[in-house]
Structure 1
Amino acid sequence: MPASKNARGKKTISRNRVARHDYLIEDTWEAGIELTGSEVKSLRERPAQISDSFCIIRGGQLFLVGVHIHPYSNGGVWNVDPDRRRRLLMHRRQIDYLDGKLRGKGLAVVPLELYFDEHNRVKLQIGLGKGKKLYDKRADMARRQVDRDIQRALKERSRG
């Protein structure tokens, strides 16, 4: 089973690891996602591909573009296009807030994690982020390396 269950009862389907590397995430939200029944069954079978996806606002609605949900193996005629645009479900005020943020500053709304919540509904954690420059990525990598070296030295010191 691809979904791993954590302490709060949510089962992770897919995580976008590239997003935190490529974007400086300022804020996060939880959004519902409008899916067909065969897509939900497919997500229970195998994970979705969300690393190349992003969110857009069209006509006052928030859409998820570029996510690939594999067709359900027993879906038959009920299977839909695996790369179709999917509507995200959020409150009007939240969508308006995101729309205002996206208009001026070069920010993007990126999906961070796709999961089943406590009630077995498919949810998507999205983040408002600004693209990192190459030197920001290098600084993060250097910082992580220093942290690893410190942890390694502390571990060796505690062993004796």
Structure 2
Amino acid sequence: MSRPKPAQFDKKKVVAENRRARFEYSIEQVFEAGIALTGTEVKSLRFGEGSIAESYAEVKGQQVWLVNSNVPEFSHGNRHNHEPKRPRKLLLHEREINKLHGAVAREGMTLVPLSVYFNGQGRAKVELALAKGRNNHDKREAIKEREWKREAGRLMRDRG
């Protein structure tokens, strides 16, 4: 009997995606977190601007922060525009924060954002993964497996 697949989050509009993260890290568990944003940040994200390619999350005390994510300044903003690379607070339940803190501290895992999106209610969310870094050998294995699946798909399609 196979393992049940985890429930996917209700993503309506994906703003930014960290596609490299699934290759660089082996994903253990995925969490959905809200983001505390200012008004111009939300407007900028709604226009599809933003990047999480080099960002990560860290636990400080009883709070989780998204560090090094880039949300460019809003083009029609005034002098109260936001700072593009400021740390942003992630909104999680206390037991989730405790679980993340324990995993990062004890097991040497990393918190990696996979995507930023707006859910069905129009709220900005981050898909946050508890991940372990892969070494070069694991990355080569992942490439071999991906290419074999692609080749098997081609063979099955050609043979009908």
Structure 2: runs of 5 or more not aligned: 1-9
Give 1:60 deviation, angstroms: 1.4
The correspondence of residues 6-155 of structure 1 with structure 2, limited to 5 A, is: 8=10, 10-155=12-157
Give 1:9 deviation, angstroms: 5.7
> 2: CA distance between counterparts of 1:119 and 1:149?
40
Structure 1: runs of 5 or more not aligned: 1-7
> 2: CA distance between counterparts of 1:77 and 1:14?
26
User: Which 4+ residue blocks in structure 1 deviate beyond 6 angstroms?
Assistant: none
Q: How many residues matched?
A: 152
> 2: CA distance between counterparts of 1:43 and 1:19?
21
Identity of aligned residues (%): 39
Q: Deviations over 1:79-129 (max 9, x none)?
A: 111000000001111101110111121100100110001110100010000
Letter in 2 for 1:117: N
Q: Is the 8 A contact 2:16 2:116 kept in 1?
A: yes
**Which one is further off, 121-130 or 10-19?**
10-19
Give 1:156 deviation, angstroms: 1.5
Q: 3-state SS of the aligned residue for 1:76?
A: coil
Structure with more of its chain in helix, by fraction: 1
